[in-house]
Amino acid sequence: NEAIKKGAEEKFKEVQKAYEQIQKERGIA
């Protein structure tokens, strides 16, 4: 299902962004 795939990609991007934010705050990235 294309809609499900797109939704999963959006969620993945959100998680990825949040993870990068945490890394920056910790001074790792």
Give the pTM: 0.62
Which pLDDT value is given to residue 28?
73
User: What confidence tens digit (pLDDT) does each residue in 1-29 have?
Assistant: 999 999 999 999 999 999 999 999 998 76
Which pLDDT value is given to residue 13?
98
- Report d(CA 22, CA 16) in Å as an integer: 10
- Report d(CA 29, CA 7) in Å as an integer: 27
Burial string for 4-27 (b: 16+ CB within 10 Å, else e) reads eeeeeeeeeeeeeeeeeeeeeeee
Which pLDDT value is given to residue 17?
98
Indicate the residue type of 29.
A
Domain layout of the chain by residue ranges: 1-29
Q: For tokens 């959006």, name the residue.
A: 10
Which pLDDT value is given to residue 29?
60
